[in-house]
Amino acid sequence: MTKWVYTFDEVSEAEALVGDWENVRGLLGGKGANLADMTRLGVPVPPGFTITTVACNAYTDAGGVVPEGMWDQVRSALDSVEEKTGKKFGDPKNPLLLSCRSGAKFSMPGMMDTVLDIGLNHEVAAELAITSGDEFFAYDSYRRLIQMFGSVVLGNPDEPYEEILDEFRDRYGVATDAELPAEALKEIVERFLEITPRFPSDPDEQLKLAVEAVFKSWTGKRAVDYRNASNIPHDLGTAVNVQTMVFGNLGENCLTGVAMSRHGATGENHIEGDYLFNAQGEDVVAGIRATLHLEDMETDMPSAYNELLAIADRLEKHYRDMQDMEFTVENGKLWLLQTRDGKRTAQAAVRIAVEMAEEGLISKEEAVMRVTPDQIDFFLHPQFTNEDRKGAKDEGKLLAEGLNVSPGAAVGVVAFDADTAVEWAEEGKKVILVRPETKPDDVHGMLAAQGIVTSRGGRTSHAALVARQFGKPAVVGIAELDIDLAGRKMAVEDRVINEGEFVSIEGTFGEVFVGELPTVVPDINDRWLSSLLEWADEYRRLRVLANADYPVDANRALDYGAQGIGLCRTEHMFFEAERLPTVQKMILAETTEDRQEALDVLMPMQRGDFQGLFEAMSGKPVIIRMIDPPLHEFLPAVEELEAEKAAAEAAGDGAAVAEVDRKLGRIDDLHEENPMLGFRGVRLGILMPEIPRMQAQAIIEAACNAKENGFDPKPEIMIPLSVHVAELEKVKAVIVDVAEEVMAARGVKVDYQVGTMVETPRAALTAGELAKEAEFFSFGTNDLTQTTYALSRDDAEKSFLIEYVEQGILPVNPFATLDPNGVGGLIKIAVETGRAARPGMEIGICGEHGGDPESVATCHELGLDYVSCSPFRVPVARLAAAHAALNDAG
Ligand code: ADP
Ligand code: MG
Ligand code: MG
C-alpha cells in the first residue's frame, strides 16, 4: 500500500524510503519537508501531517480522483495529531482547528493560498467563544474561514466579502475589523454564509474539499503559467500540509511574524523581521496594520524573542544557509510555522556567503558557488538603496509591479515610442521606453533608453530578451498598466503619468515608481566582494583578460582583476576626432608615398597609446590587434564631400573641386555591397603593407620606451581575419622585419609574439596550418558566429533573431551566449589541431562572449587558456570561471 500521508514526525521514514534530502523535498514539498525536519530537530512546530506530491500526481492522473486509501491515511494521521494536542477535530467542546497549506518542491506563486481555521461551524464557534472566553476571536476566526474557503476553495470573488466588511466598519464607525464588536462578527458570519451557500458545515467535508482544491491548483492556469515562465517541470506535483492551528490572534499575549536570520538586503549577520500583536496569517505581509520591528519584540516578549533567536541560529547551522521563518506566539508560547532558505539581494548574497565561510559554516568553495555571476554583474549596476525603495513605497510612490526580467535600476522620463526615446536621448535626456509590448522596430529606442517597461509579455517576450541582452533594466507584463499611446499617457487606476514625466524602475524586483529615485553604484572594493573574488581566483583555471583600447580602460581593468589585455582594437585609436582626417587621408591616398605621409603622422600617436598600455599592464600580456574594420567605416560621408564640392565650385577653386572629385572616385572604388565580408582584416595589410609596418613600428618602439622606463612590456601582435596561412606568412614577415629593425636600432630587446585571430570556419578548419605561423590564437567569436551562422549580427538582431529565440528555434541568441556545438565545434577543432602543430600555444577568446557566464563555462570545457571581455565584465568572468572549474572538479 502506497504511503500517501506522513505525519511531521515521520520524516526519517520518508528519508529512508526516498534516499536523500532532495528527494524528501520532492516527496513532501519544501514547506512540508522542513516542517517535519524542524519537528525532528525539536523545534516547536504545531503537529500536523503532509499529503505527498505523489498523491497529488495520482489525483491529477486519475482525472481528479483521490487515490485509494488516502482518506483513511489522513484519518489515522488526524488521530495521531488529536492525540498529541489533546483536541478533537469537529468536537465543539474541545475543537482541533486546522490549516491547509500547499507546498511544492520549489516555492511557487500561483499555488493555492492557505486556508486557516478549518473545523469551525456554528456549533464549534459558539463553544469556542465560551471556552476561549473570547467571543470576538471565535467569530473572527469563523468569518475568516468562510471567506478564505469561499474565495480559495470555491473560487468566489473576494470583493463581496470585502464589501460586507466595509459596510460593517462604516456602520460601527471603526477603521479596522479588529475594532468591531463580537455581535458584528456574528452578523458578518451570517452574511458571509448567504453569499457562500456551498460552505460545508461538516469539518470533515471542509478538510476534504480544501485538500482537493490544493491538488487542483497544481494544474490551474496561474501555476502552469508560472512553471512555464520559470522552467519548473510540470510533473513535480504539490504536497498538502495539514496542521494544527496556533493563534496569534487570541489576545495581547499573542503575535504573529516573519523573520530572516540575516539581513536580506545588506547581508548583515543580525536577525531582522516584522510582527503584529493579536493577528493571524498573512496580516503581517498584507500591510493592513503597521508592523513592528523584530528588535522591539526583545522588550515586548523577551522569552519568546530569545527562543526565536536561538532557533534561528540552530536552523542556520542545520541548513547551512540564511533562513526565512514564519512564527506565531500563542499565549506567550513560540511556534515555528515555516522555514526556508531566504531570498536576498546580490550584496547580501555576497556578504552572507563570505561571512558564513569565515564562520566555518560552509567552505570557501561553497561560498564561491553560492553567488551567481549574474549577482556579481548586478553588483556593478546602478541600484536604488533598500531604504530609498522602502521610503518611496511608504510615500505611496510605487506605481505598479510586473515581472522582474532584467536587473538593475533606471531613472528617466517616459517616452511612448522608440523614435521619441532616441530623439530625447540624443538631447541628453534619460529616457524610459514604455510600450504595450516591444517589436524589432523598437530596438533602436530600447538601446537609447535607460530602461524598458511593458504592460504585456512574459519572461521570454521580445522586451525581456532584448533588455537582458543589452543589460537594460526592464519590468514587463504589468497588466494593470493602462497605456494610452494616442493620448501620450499611461495610468494605473486613477493615477496618470504623462509622456515626459519621470519614473524610476527597478528591474531586480519588478517595480515601477513615480518620480526620480537616487541611484548608487556599489563599490567593487567592497570587502566581501573582494574576498569572494580572491577565493574564486584560487579555483579557476581560465585566466581573465580585458578588452581595453586606452590606458584608462587598462587601469579600470586592473582594478577589476584583469590579468592582461586580450584585445586592444587599434582602429578605436584611429576613430578619434583629431586623428580621423589623417586616417581618411591614408585610406584615400592613391600612391604608397601619399599613404606613407599620413602614416608618419599617425605612428607617434599610436606609439603613445601603446606605451601607456604597456606601462599600465607591466608584466602582463597586451594583445594588440592590427587595424580591422571595413574601410568604409572611416570614410567621410558622400553628402559631406558633395557639400564641400559645391562650396569649392562657388568659390571657383578648381584645384579643390578636383581633389574632392578624386576622393569621391576613390570612395566609389572602395565601395562594397557587403563590407563585413569585404576588404578588411588582414586583407588590408596584404595590399597595403605599409599599414602593418607602421603599427608594428609603433608597438615595438612603445615597448622599447616602456622597457627603458623600467616596465616589463609583453606585446602580442594579432593579425585579424586570416583565412589562409599564406596571408599570415606575408604579414608576419613584414612585422618581424620591422620589429628586428627597431630593436637593433634601439639596442633594446623585447619579447613579442605574432599570432592571429580565428574568425572564420576556414581558419578554424585549417588551424594546424595557421599555427605554423601564428604563435597564439584568439577566437573572435562575434565574427566566428556571424560566419558560422551566415548571418549578420547587426541586421539579424533587428529582424528575425529575437523572433527565433521567442519561437524556441534557437535556445538563446548565439551572439550573447556562445553556441557550444556549432561555433564551439569549430573552436574545438582549431584548439586540437593548433596545439598539435604548436604545443603549448596560448589560446583564448575575445569578444563579448568572454563576459557571459555560460560562454565562459564553454571556454573552460574547450580547454582555452583565457577569456577576454570588457573591463566591467571581468569580475563576472572571474566568478564564472571559478564555477566552471568547481563544477568540473565536483
Ligand atoms: P505561503 O506559502 O503563502 O507563505 P503558508 O502556508 O505559509 O502560505 O501560510 C500563510 C500563513 O498562514 C503563514 O505565514 C501563517 O501565518 C499562517 N498559518 C499557516 N498555518 C498556520 C497554523 N497552523 N497556525 C497558525 N497560522 C498558520
Ligand atoms: Mg500565500
Ligand atoms: Mg509561508
Residue nearest to atom 7 of ligand 1 (CA): 338
Write phi, then psi, for 292 (nearest 5 degrees). Answer: -100, 150
Which protein residue has the closest C-alpha to ligand 1 atom 24?
245
Nearest atom in ligand 1 to 246's CA: 24
For the range 132-140, what are the long-range contacts, defined as Cβ-Cβ under 8 Å and sequence gap of 24 or more?
A: 132/250, 134/250, 134/251, 135/182, 135/185, 136/180, 136/181, 136/182, 136/185, 137/247, 137/249, 137/250, 137/251, 139/182, 139/185, 139/186, 139/188, 139/189, 140/177, 140/185, 140/249
The answer, yes or no, to whether any atom of ligand 1 lies below 6 A from the CB of 116, is yes
Residues β-bridged to residue 327: 257, 336
Residue-level pLDDT at 31: 97
Residues of the chain with confidence (pLDDT) below 50: none
Largest pairwise CA distance in the chain: 113
C-beta 329 within 6 A of ligand 1? no
DSSP codes joined into one string, 101-160: EEEESS--TTSPPPEEEET--HHHHHHHHHHHS-HHHHHHHHHHHHHHIIIIIS---SHH
- Give residue 101 CA to ligand 2 midpoint distance, Å: 9
Output the pLDDT for position 67.
Answer: 97
> Atom 9 (ligand 1): residue with closest C-alpha?
114
CB atoms within 10 A of CB 716: 23
User: Would you name the residues annotated as active-site residues?
Assistant: 462, 846
How far is residue 729's CA from residue 709's CA, in Å, rounded to a whole number?
A: 33
Pocket perturbation via mutation, ligand 1, pick of 323, 326, 335, 340 by most ligand atoms within 8 A of CB: 326
Cα 324 to middle of ligand 3, angstroms: 9
CA of 113 to the centre of ligand 2 (A): 5
369 vs 540: CA distance, rounded Å: 12
CA of 340 to the centre of ligand 3 (A): 9
Nearest atom within ligand 1 for CA of residue 102: 6
Which residues share a beta bridge with 481?
492
Nearest to 349 by CA among 336, 362, 330: 362
- Type of residue found at 792: S
d(CA 326, ligand 3 centre) in Å: 6
Grid coordinates in use for 322?
540564511
Query: Which pLDDT score, from 0 to 100, does residue 416 have?
Result: 97
Distance 461 CA to ligand 3 centre (A): 30
What is the rounded distance in angstroms from the CA atom of residue 498 to the CA atom of residue 146?
43
pLDDT at 469: 66
User: Are 323 and 352 contacting, i.e. CB atoms less than 8 angstroms apart?
Assistant: no
47 lines ligand 1 (CB under 6 A): no
Give yes or no for a contact between 100 and 85, defined as CB atoms under 8 angstroms apart.
Answer: no
Candidates 31, 118, 331, 338: which one to mutate for ligand 1, based on the most atoms within 8 Å of Cβ? 338
Mutate to test the pocket of ligand 1, among 85, 101, 274, 328 (most ligand atoms within 8 A of CB): 101
Grid coordinates representing 219?
A: 494544474
pLDDT at 287: 60
Name the residue with the closest Cα to ligand 1, atom 27.
Answer: 281
Question: Got the DSSP string for 741-767?
Answer: HHHHHHT-----EEEEEE-SHHHHHTH
Residue 821 phi, psi (nearest 5): -85, -60
Nine-digit cell string for 593: 608615398
**111 C-beta closer than 6 A to ligand 1:** no
Atom of ligand 1 nearest to the CA of 258: 14
Decide whether any atom of ligand 1 lies within 6 Å of the 406 Cβ. no
Ligand nearest to the CA of 324: 3
CA pair distance 395, 392, nearest whole angstrom? 5
Give the pairing type, strands 48-51 and 5-7.
antiparallel
- Of the listed ligands, the closest to the CA of 337 is 1
**DSSP string spanning 551-583?**
HHHHHHHHHTT--SEEEEEHHHHHTSTTTHHHH
Q: What is the pLDDT of residue 801?
A: 84
CA 281 to centroid of ligand 3, rounded, Å: 9
Which pLDDT value is given to residue 890?
A: 72
Residue nearest to atom 26 of ligand 1 (CA): 281
